[in-house]
Amino acid sequence: MRYGKDLLTKAVERAGSRYKLSQITAIPQSDLSDAWNGKRGVPASWVLRLARVAGVDPTEAMELHDLERSQAKKNPPLSWRLGVGGAAVLWLASWSASSEAAQAVQTVRGLLDTMCERLNAALFGRTRTSAL
């Protein structure tokens, strides 16, 4: 994942080290090291945290990360799946670094997953493992 690696690199540069980045973002240092060394990709759950540290617009970072994933997996981009309401939730979440905001985003993502599963089942007679 090229964009994820670029975002990680920029966040490490701004934080000063991978250890400091781990402390700031609450991402385990071993996981950061694995992503840094190419043993794993940068998951979507890290993008907002890394974007805030890197000084990048979190919503744009999430869009670029998802667009890159969608090109690899042939999925529609995040903005197409979330619509205006979902994009607004991401934008609002990017303005708050509190743990309550992170929990709220996870709750909303869970609700969106459930909604998409039910919609797919109703329209197409199938379910998806995850909407996001």
In the chain, domain spans: 2-73, 82-124
The DSSP line for 75-124 is PPPHHHHHHHHHHHHHHHHHT--SHHHHHHHHHHHHHHHHHHHHHHHHHH
Of the chain, the end-to-end C-alpha distance in Å amounts to 17
pLDDT in tens, 81-108: 566 566 666 666 665 555 666 677 777 7
Above 50 in pLDDT, residue 131?
Answer: no
Task: Name the CATH topology of 2-73.
Answer: 434 Repressor (Amino-terminal Domain) (1.10.260)
Confidence of residue 130 (pLDDT cuts 50, 70, 90): very low
Confidence of residue 44 (pLDDT cuts 50, 70, 90): confident
Element (H, E) at 44: helix 44-54
| Alpha-carbon gap, residue 83 to 96, rounded angstroms | 21
Tell me, what DSSP letter sits at residue 38?
A: T
Do 32 and 94 meet the contact criterion of CB atoms below 8 Å apart? Answer: no
In angstroms, the Cα distances linking 90 to 1, 10, 79, 100 are 21, 21, 10, 14
Of all residues in the chain, the percent with pLDDT exceeding 70 is 66
pTM higher than the cut 0.85: no
Surface-to-core class of residue 74, CB atoms within 10 Å of its CB (0-12 exposed, 13-18 middle, 19+ buried): exposed
Confidence of residue 53 (pLDDT cuts 50, 70, 90): very high
